[in-house]
Amino acid sequence: MATQALAGPVAVAPEPPDHDQPAEQPDLPNRGSHRVIWAIETDEPLAALTFDDGPDPEFTPRVLEILARYEVPATFFMMGWNASTHPELARQVVAAGHEIGNHTHSHENLAFATNEETFEQLHRGHDTIEAVTGVRPRWFRPPRGQLSGFGIRHATMLGVDTVLWSVTRGIPGAGTPREVRDHLVQHVGPGDIVDLHDGLGRGTFNPGRDFTEDLRVRRDVELDALPGAIEQLLERGLRFGTVSDIVAAERPGAGVA
């Protein structure tokens, strides 16, 4: 995907995250258990909507309005940098009754990160989100779904499980709201975890670039598709809950899939 600046004036990028002062690493042993969750085996007609990369003033209020309209709870995987930059918006997510998770501090690709860089991304994101919202994130989701052994280690140290997904928007490129809606209606069923977005990921730090504008169009299409998808899935008898809700509805004796 092209990353050259668009013609004309280019927006000034936000101040990049400060990597010169990494969070202090505690001398803790590896401990506890850790799960990586894609979906849940359940007999309940229950699925989970999740949103990555926020909170973002362009997208998060739209998501909150849609969820409130249909009285649907969701799980928001926040970037620590965005939570600290838009604290009132992060607190609005919590006040609306939604669940929050950690999506790292600044959306770096953990597949190629060192142990120290991974520590910084997970712990700083986790601590920042908790400080801003007053809620300790229960879950972790790695950017792009790419996870290393270092990521699993630090998630375990934080006492959180990793949540991936079983259904996405499914349409390459931007697509149309109808295409995304139809894909979601066709593929979302009981136990599914749906991965959508209310922010721009690394595009947050690269305004005006081609790849950021491409992401913005994709996010707009996702959110335009969301009301119709929710309506049709509710009409089919499916209900929505947070990730914690569907984990609690796991079939007895079933493994996490």
Is residue 52 among the annotated active site residues?
Answer: yes
Of the residues 98, 105, 123, 197, only one is catalytic, namely 197
187, 167 contact by CB (below 8 A): yes
Dihedral class, residue 191 (left if φ above 0, else alpha if ψ from -120 to 50, else beta):
left
Distance CA 220, CA 169 (A): 12
Q: What is the amino acid identity at position 201? A: G
Q: How far is CA 162 from CA 54, 60, 147, 153, 187, in A?
A: 18, 22, 9, 11, 22
Of the residues 52, 56, 192, 195, only one is catalytic, namely 52
Is residue 161 among the annotated active site residues?
Answer: no
The three-class DSSP label of residue 88 is helix
Calculate the dihedral angle through the C-alpha atoms of 244, 177, 70, 67, rounding to the nearest 10 degrees.
Answer: 50
Distance CA 201, CA 108 (A): 9
- Gap between the terminal Cα atoms of the chain: 32
Q: Kindly state the DSSP code that residue 230 receives in the 8-state scheme.
A: H
Distance CA 256, CA 41 (A): 7
Active site amino acids: 52, 197
